[in-house]
Chains A and B, each alone.
Chain A
Amino acid sequence: MAYYCSRCNKYWNYQVKRCIFCGQDLLSQHSKEYRVLGYTQVNIPSKGNEKVPYYVYLIEDENNVKKLMKSTIEYNIGDRVDFELDRKSSILIGIVGIGSMGLQIAEYFLSYGFNVHLKTRNSDKIVSIYERIQKNLSKKYTSDDVRKILDRCQITTEYLDLKGCDLIIDASSEDFDIKESIFREISEIKKENAIIATNSSSISIDKLAAVTKMPEKCIGMHFFNPVRKMSLIEVIIGEKTSNDVIDTIFAVAKSIDKEPIVIRNSPGFVVNRLLLPQINEAIRLLEQNVANKESIDSAVKLGLNHPMGPFELADYIGLDICISILNELHIELESEFYKPANLLKTLVGEGKLGIKTGEGFYNYK
């Protein structure tokens, strides 16, 4: 976007309304296509550009208006690129299940220029979901930008409204029956080439894929909480997941500045398989009175350099989720080692689920 005075033949990058030389109203020119004039690969981080290396491209449009564009994709001098309508924004994202993770994933994709369709079960919630997204975006963007971003967002209760989506991500609660029915419904309405992904942290992608018509289009795409801050995406590939689908998910993940890793379908994948036994063992240490919870948290933070201790993290994740993942590991891996500690069962039984209920291992009231 540039502002142009046809009489004086002058351009402004900054948003100005009238020409300072002749007083004429300026034309705002939208660029259609850009050509790469030059680039640099930057290796040192700065605020807002913490992830390195990245490229900065100096690009020029058909009116010789220049601008800079940051990207992780490699282009050469002279390449024609359509940054305004980058291929990523031409991908339509569908998200099913608008809990905390679904909402965060939606906001994240929106902030990267994607069009996003959200599917919720309850029509009463549409307004409140919209308002929550608006409120969260307002922390980072101006009201004008928020309006533009929200133009790319649709909320619906009908699966049919997701039929144009290229990638549909299930972000529903960690319940096999719910996810199975979502996969079955999506399978009925989706485009032939569309990918069905699930944000599940533990449920087998093979079992979910089995209920669809195209298991090769099914994949796991496990985001971490908070989505904005955590760079990792565990990409879970099932027995039948096709290579094209894996490549597409990798490209999408990279285009939103995430680091995808490939994981064969297996209980708990990598992160939870490592994390939950640690949390469980921390609870056993507490039960055996080896150390108090504050000391165990300090030991992990200061001795292992983790940003949070196991009790803080368990409360943050939610103890109900911790127990359900441990149960899954316990059953699937057939080992007593993964059996949830008694204290964890007790707290969940008392409804003390962590931060979300105001009390877990620690009290947040």
Chain B
Amino acid sequence: MYISGVGRTKFGNLSDNLQELAYEAILNALDDSNLDINEIGAIFVSNFLSGPLNGQLHLNSMISSLIPGINIPIIRVETACASSSVAFNQAIYCLQNYSNILIVGVEKMTGVGLLPTTDAISMAGDRTYDFPNGLIFPAAYALIAQQYMLKNNINHDILELVSYINHQNSRLNPLAHFYYKEVSKEMIKNAPMIASPLNLFDCSPISDGAVAVILSKNKTSDRDVKVMSSKIATDTISLTERINLTSFIATKIASKQAYKEAQITPADLDIIEIHDCFTISELIALEDLGICGASEVSELIKNGDILRDGPFPVNTDGGLKANGHPIGATGLAQIFEIVAQLRQETEKRQVDNPEIGLAQNIGGIGGTCGITILGV
């Protein structure tokens, strides 16, 4: 099976609403492919917060309104921040029944104020015990960061470097949330504290955006990219139910299965997209994905190994930190970047001749993980 078309909107604080964003991404993906809308057999729509933030549910029918008179099966998938990689995964299972399936991820998060947004995002964590005890999302990752920093004897500098690299990468991606923003190391170091030890620059932004990807059973053009594997795994919703607080077992399980199915090892990866919703999760993922061993993460980053010209280029689009994090579209944005890189169509930020790429997309505090491996 192949990815035969990708399309996205710009990410950021946008004037477009949910429908406009989804429509633009779908149109762009169709334009990018050799297909027209009548050749699409089914659609998966991925979204996290249209209920609490936009007051709109029944999104599959909303998407149907964008393609009037077609009446094909459409289904919505929600697994918090991992919604779109899981939608992609489910589309693969359905592909035996259709020639082409479109997956569209969309999220409209800005314009409702900080308090309702923070509240809504916390729905990705436990609301029965954790949220009433003040556990907003940054706080959950702050607890993980504290544990990680103590265990590996590192300080905040390495997190600042991760943030800086992602922001540098976004300066080469015109569709990124922070494409316009010149960010210095001093700005990152001196940013206001959100939940100690995480400051503003450890946190991904609240973004609007949409991405669409077309999955095809058969090859439709030379630009098509092969789907080598897509695996998902889950874990408890609360940190309090975990033994290991500095690793996400869902990432380990899903990636191990995906490597096996794709018949590759981490060393074969030419490009990696990591779910850096907070800087600390990039460090944890590098270890969980087997890119490097425990306690080698700092060295790897300091050595420049995750830079665009290094052996493991990570988040060439800017990552969640700087490309943006429109939650229901994020996993597909990672797939978009890998497809664009494998096709060698990313211009200024192009990695040299990549052949295999991996995207790690997590939901909540690692409660869901979707791993996608693509190749040419």
Show the binding face of A for B, using Cβ within 8 Å. 11, 13-14, 37-49, 54, 56, 58, 65-70, 77
**Selected A-B contacts with CB under 8 Å, 27 pairs:** A13-B126, A37-B147, A38-B147, A39-B143, A40-B197, A40-B198, A41-B195, A41-B196, A42-B134, A42-B142, A43-B192, A43-B196, A44-B136, A45-B115, A45-B118, A46-B118, A47-B118, A49-B134, A49-B136, A56-B133, A56-B135, A56-B139, A58-B245, A66-B239, A68-B133, A68-B134, A68-B239
A20 to chain B, nearest CB (A): 14
Task: List, in ascending order, chain B residues with CB within 8 A of A13's CB.
Answer: 126, 129, 238, 240-241
The residues in B between 93 and 139 inclusive whose CB is less than 8 angstroms from any CB of A are: 114-116, 118-119, 122, 126, 128-136, 138-139
Bound complex: CA A42 to CA B241 (Å): 22
- Contacts A13-B238, A38-B143, A58-B239 known; A47 to B130 CB distance under 8 Å? no
Show the binding face of B for A, using Cβ within 8 Å. 114-116, 118-119, 122, 126, 128-136, 138-139, 142-143, 146-147, 150, 192-198, 238-242, 245
Does A39 contact B241, Cβ atoms closer than 8 Å?
no
Question: Given A42-B134, A43-B196, 9 other A-B contacts at CB below 8 A?
Answer: A40-B139, A40-B146, A44-B138, A45-B115, A46-B118, A54-B134, A65-B240, A66-B240, A68-B240
Task: List, in ascending order, chain B residues with CB within 8 A of A37's CB.
Answer: 147, 245
Does B241 contact A68, Cβ atoms closer than 8 Å?
no
B243 to chain A, nearest CB (A): 8
Does A43 contact B193, Cβ atoms closer than 8 Å?
yes
Identity of the chain B residue whose Cβ is nearest the Cβ of A40 in the assembled complex: B142
- Contacts A38-B143, A42-B139, A44-B114 known; A11 to B119 CB distance under 8 Å? no
Task: List, in ascending order, chain A residues with CB within 8 A of B196's CB.
Answer: 40-41, 43
B80 to chain A, nearest CB (A): 17
Task: List, in ascending order, chain A residues with CB within 8 A of B238's CB.
Answer: 13
Q: Is the interface of A mostly helix, strand, loop or mixed?
A: strand
Does B192 contact A47, Cβ atoms closer than 8 Å?
no
Task: List, in ascending order, chain B residues with CB within 8 A of A58's CB.
Answer: 143, 239-240, 245
A40 interface neighbour in B116, B131, B143, Cβ under 8 Å: B143
A69 to chain B, nearest CB (A): 6
B313 to chain A, nearest CB (A): 31
Bound complex: CA A49 to CA B135 (Å): 9
Identity of the chain B residue whose Cβ is nearest the Cβ of A55 in the assembled complex: B134
- List the 8 closest A-B pairs by CB distance, nearest first: A40-B142, A70-B134, A66-B240, A70-B133, A68-B133, A47-B119, A46-B118, A41-B196
Does B132 contact A42, Cβ atoms closer than 8 Å?
no
Does B240 contact A67, Cβ atoms closer than 8 Å?
yes
A56 interface neighbour in B116, B143, B192, Cβ under 8 Å: B143
Task: List, in ascending order, chain B residues with CB within 8 A of A41's CB.
Answer: 193, 195-196
Does B129 contact A47, Cβ atoms closer than 8 Å?
no
Identity of the chain A residue whose Cβ is nearest the Cβ of B243 in the assembled complex: A64
A46 interface neighbour in B115, B128, B129, B197, Cβ under 8 Å: B115
A161 to chain B, nearest CB (A): 33
Task: List, in ascending order, chain A residues with CB within 8 A of B134's CB.
Answer: 42, 46, 49, 54, 56, 68, 70
Task: List, in ascending order, chain A residues with CB within 8 A of B139's CB.
Answer: 40, 42, 56
Does A42 contact B136, Cβ atoms closer than 8 Å?
yes
Task: List, in ascending order, chain B residues with CB within 8 A of A44's CB.
Answer: 114, 118, 136, 138, 194-195
A41 to chain B, nearest CB (A): 5
Bound complex: CA A65 to CA B129 (Å): 14
Bound complex: CA A11 to CA B238 (Å): 13
Task: List, in ascending order, chain A residues with CB within 8 A of B128's CB.
Answer: 14
Does A43 contact B241, Cβ atoms closer than 8 Å?
no
Bound complex: CA A44 to CA B198 (Å): 12
Task: List, in ascending order, chain A residues with CB within 8 A of B146's CB.
Answer: 38-40
Task: List, in ascending order, chain A residues with CB within 8 A of B129's CB.
Answer: 13, 67-68
B138 to chain A, nearest CB (A): 7
Bound complex: CA A56 to CA B145 (Å): 14
Does A48 contact B241, Cβ atoms closer than 8 Å?
no
Does A46 contact B240, Cβ atoms closer than 8 Å?
no
Identity of the chain A residue whose Cβ is nearest the Cβ of B236 in the assembled complex: A13
Identity of the chain B residue whose Cβ is nearest the Cβ of A54 in the assembled complex: B134
Bound complex: CA A68 to CA B135 (Å): 8
Bound complex: CA A38 to CA B143 (Å): 6
Task: List, in ascending order, chain A residues with CB within 8 A of B142's CB.
Answer: 40, 42
Does B136 contact A46, Cβ atoms closer than 8 Å?
yes
Task: List, in ascending order, chain B residues with CB within 8 A of A65's CB.
Answer: 240
Identity of the chain B residue whose Cβ is nearest the Cβ of A1 in the assembled complex: B129
B109 to chain A, nearest CB (A): 15
Bound complex: CA A41 to CA B193 (Å): 9
Task: List, in ascending order, chain B residues with CB within 8 A of A56's CB.
Answer: 133-135, 139, 143, 195
